[in-house]
Amino acid sequence: NAGVMQNPRHLVRRRGQEARLRCSPMKGHSHVYWYRQLPEEGLKFMVYLQKENIIDESGMPKERFSAEFPKEGPSILRIQQVVRGDSAAYFCASSPWADYEQYFGPGTRLTVT
């Protein structure tokens, strides 16, 4: 059973470009969570999704950031018009149901130049 997969592992974008981060949850998991980690800090919650629904987006910046988890395919975290402050590691986690252990992917390291 493959773990949570994220791609790309490393992404470099110039200021103003768009970044798309993908997350494939573990097989059988329908709950997906996105977290952001700045250097030498803990992970900060961004958004929690189930298939085709956003359940909690209280950690998402109000502008430029969006997330989806379609019926088919991976979950996508999209950052429009990236700025240097968006440079961070973005982790996805999945779980089979709510209030259960979350399994983390290897992360996508976004660098904005």
Partner 1 sequence: GESVGLHLPTLSVQEGDNSIINCAYSNSASDYFIWYKQESGKGPQFIIDIRSNMDKRQGQRVTVLLNKTVKHLSLQIAATQPGDSAVYFCAEEYGNKLVFGAGTILRVKS
Residues lying near partner 1 in the complex (CB under 8 A): 4, 33, 35, 40-45, 48, 55-56, 58-59, 91, 93, 98-99, 101-107
Q: Which is nearer to partner 1, 17 or 87 (CB)?
A: 87
Measured distance between the N- and C-terminal CA atoms of the chain, rounded to whole angstroms: 37
Min CB(49)–partner 1 separation in Å: 10
Find the shortest distance in angstroms from Cβ 26 to partner 1. Answer: 12
Kindly tell me which of 93 and 112 has the beta carbon lying closer to partner 1.
93
